[in-house]
Amino acid sequence: MNTELVIVYHRQPYEEVMENGKLVLREPRSPNGILPTIKRFFSHVDKAVWVAWKKSPAGKTPNFERRITLSDSFGAYDVVRLPLDAGQINQFYHVTSKEALWPVLNSFPWLYSTENTHWATFREVNRLFAEAACEHAAPGAVVWIHDYNLWLVPKFVRQLRPDLKIAFLHHTPFPAADVFNIMPWRDEILDSLLACDMVGFHIPRYSQNFCALAEGLRAGIVRHEAPVPEPIHTTGMAMSETVVTTHLDYQGRRILIDTWPIGTSPDLIAETVDSEDGRARTANIRRDMNAEILIVSVSRVDYAKGTRQQLEAFERMLLRRPELAGRVKLLLVTVSAADGMAVYKAEQTKIEQLVGRINGHFGTMSWLPIMLSTTPMPFEEVVCAYRAADIAWITPLRDGLNLVCKEFVAAKNGESGVLVLSEFAGSAMELSDAVLVNPFSRNSMDEGLDQALDMPLQERSERMQRLLAHVRKYDLAYWTKHVMSQFAKLTADEKPAP
Ligand code: GDG
């Protein structure tokens, strides 16, 4: 793209580590997750600027440079560090984003609470992000804002710099209007999203929810729709849609609605698991897990990821199928959230209690049914754990997309294995060869697990071949190309008339 890209994402695109008493900025060790996914775009533009927050003592001049230039394997780029104090971080992110917005986005309105919310701080921090982006953006640059905790940035950018093209990507679900509208700030959030040139979502259901919400709250919106494109499923599933909105016309402006799921990096994953080191790691995991049937589940500690419901289903399975005692093991990797989020701390405690109960009740001196890890593992270990597993069990109650399921398919790289996937993960709209389950239904969870355990070898490998073909075709490079083509539409001189 013959222009500049300004990425606004709350986290810094590198790790800060102390080496010999000196602070060193290091490329994230793990090549998966949101940061490396977004950083791929650096190699597609003339110049890239990344805006993120950095902790700074309250009331003091920050002891770091605001703008630095870095170069790593993704290319050269500038990072603008927005100083936020501990109170701002807590109020903007840990409390308002995670305790008020997150439950709404994921359709858990009963967990939504405004008692604790600091909307004024949230707005102020969003304004600061917008100012930082505008201050450092070249004329006509594309400003690409990521995720709901920066929902108010577009409106401020539009006011400050009408010359910029504003794109926004939701990594999360977008709820139906009757859930979204419980928020007293619904109009402010909607107006900000309507200030964008492009609003992005992973799957058609989220795009349709957003557009229906906009139509309901604002007169004069004209919606243009088209059939849902291949390879997204259009009927018969919990989140199926047959049509999707391509753009909205509103107040003389055109807003592109972009709907496309992120892919993973199958080549990198296959290379890692099939290397000499990868094969040895996989064999070690298999040996250490010491089970005939290995089930793997990988996620973050978050009630939306459905880990408790999964543990309850695993417990029912052990009761229902006593012949599996001593033969099956669940490797549960659920990484703890950052400190300061009460809601996640409580969730982790409940998970640990359930694991303790199940291991205590069913375990013997030579076999524990669950191996739990709440600390992050190296990337190589994660993908080799996928390769070692017979079943990947990914059953979030809600998930914008879910990349773990795609990584599992890539790590298997054609070897047989079963993916059990929640219908409420965005990825389910692409991966219909998984065993799809409804995590809100005990019967569905039980039947799905039984189906996976009992699936004949031929069916396993046929399903896996089809899943792999999809994950390979619609990989991260495909998504990157797709987004770049959408940006090109925004920056084209001749835009279609509204
Ligand atoms: C958000 C949305 C959407 C996990 N444990 C370890 C580890 N991981 C890696 C996985 C995967 C990533 O973290 C998790 O990605 P997900 O997509 O599953 O979930 P979120 O983090 O919740 O991401 C989600 C995504 O944004 C993209 O838009 O799909 O719906 O919630 O890559 O492999 N990586 C390492 N050690 C671990 O212990 N190295």
pLDDT tens column, 91-109: 999 999 999 999 999 999 9
User: Residue 32 has what pLDDT?
Assistant: 77
Cβ–ligand 1 distance for 382 under 6 Å, the answer yes
CA of 33 to the centre of ligand 1 (A): 5
CA of 342 to the centre of ligand 1 (A): 21
Rounded distance, CA 282 to CA 288, Å?
10
User: Residue 234 has what pLDDT?
Assistant: 85
Q: Which protein residue's CA is at the shortest distance from atom 4 of ligand 1?
A: 299
Q: What value does the mean pLDDT take over residues 279-304? A: 97
Which pTM was predicted? 0.96
pLDDT band at 410 (very low <50, low <70, confident <90, very high): very high
Q: What value does the mean pLDDT take over residues 360-364? A: 97
Query: Is 70 exceeded by the pLDDT of residue 492?
Result: yes
Of the listed ranges 1-10, 169-178, 343-352, 401-410, the least confidently predicted one is 1-10
Of the listed ranges 133-142, 332-341, 432-441, the least confidently predicted one is 332-341
Q: What value does the mean pLDDT take over residues 474-490? A: 95
Answer whether 315's CB lies under 8 Å from 358's CB: yes
Rounded distance, CA 28 to CA 338, Å?
17
Residues 6+ apart with CB under 8 A from 186: 180, 217
User: Residue 1 has what pLDDT?
Assistant: 59
Q: Which of 37, 384, 402 for a ligand 1 pocket mutation test, highest count of atoms within 8 Å of Cβ?
A: 402
For strand 47-55 and strand 4-8, is the pairing parallel, antiparallel, or unpaired? parallel
Of 80, 197, 211, 84, nearest to 143 (Cα)? 197
In which order are the strands placed within the sheet that holds 198-201? 67-72, 75-84, 47-55, 4-8, 142-146, 165-169, 198-201, 253-259, 243-250, 222-227
User: Residue 498 has what pLDDT?
Assistant: 47
Q: Which domains does the chain have, with CATH numbers?
A: 3-263+477-491 (3.40.50.2000), 266-473 (3.40.50.2000)
**Rounded percentage of the chain residues whose pLDDT exceeds 70:** 98
pLDDT band at 496 (very low <50, low <70, confident <90, very high): very low
Report, in angstroms and rounded to the nearest whole number, the Rg of the chain calculated over CA atoms. 23
Tokens matching residue 64: 């770091």
Query: Is 90 exceeded by the pLDDT of residue 203?
Result: yes
Cβ–ligand 1 distance for 430 under 6 Å, the answer no
Cβ–ligand 1 distance for 302 under 6 Å, the answer no
- pLDDT, averaged across the chain: 94
Tokens matching residue 438: 């409804």
Query: Is 60 exceeded by the pLDDT of residue 493?
Result: no
Cβ–ligand 1 distance for 301 under 6 Å, the answer no
pLDDT band at 308 (very low <50, low <70, confident <90, very high): very high
pLDDT band at 491 (very low <50, low <70, confident <90, very high): confident
Q: What is the DSSP letter of 301?
A: S
| Ligand 1 nearest-atom number relative to CA 426 | 30
Tokens matching residue 398: 């809600």
User: Residue 497 has what pLDDT?
Assistant: 46
Query: Is 90 exceeded by the pLDDT of residue 385?
Result: yes
Of the listed ranges 17-21, 107-111, 219-223, 433-437, the least confidently predicted one is 17-21
Which residue, chain included where needed, has tokens 């594309």?
Answer: 142
| Ligand 1 nearest-atom number relative to CA 302 | 22
Cβ–ligand 1 distance for 32 under 6 Å, the answer yes
Q: What value does the mean pLDDT take over residues 124-152? A: 97
Summarize pLDDT for 17-63 with one digit per residue, the tens.
Answer: 888 888 888 887 777 788 889 988 888 888 899 999 999 999 899 88
CA of 402 to the centre of ligand 1 (A): 7
Summarize pLDDT for 189-201 with one digit per residue, the tens.
Answer: 999 999 999 999 9
CA of 171 to the centre of ligand 1 (A): 11
Triad 477, 481, 482: Cα angle to 5°: 115
Answer whether 156's CB lies under 8 Å from 130's CB: yes
Cβ–ligand 1 distance for 399 under 6 Å, the answer yes
Q: Which protein residue's CA is at the shortest distance from atom 34 of ligand 1?
A: 379
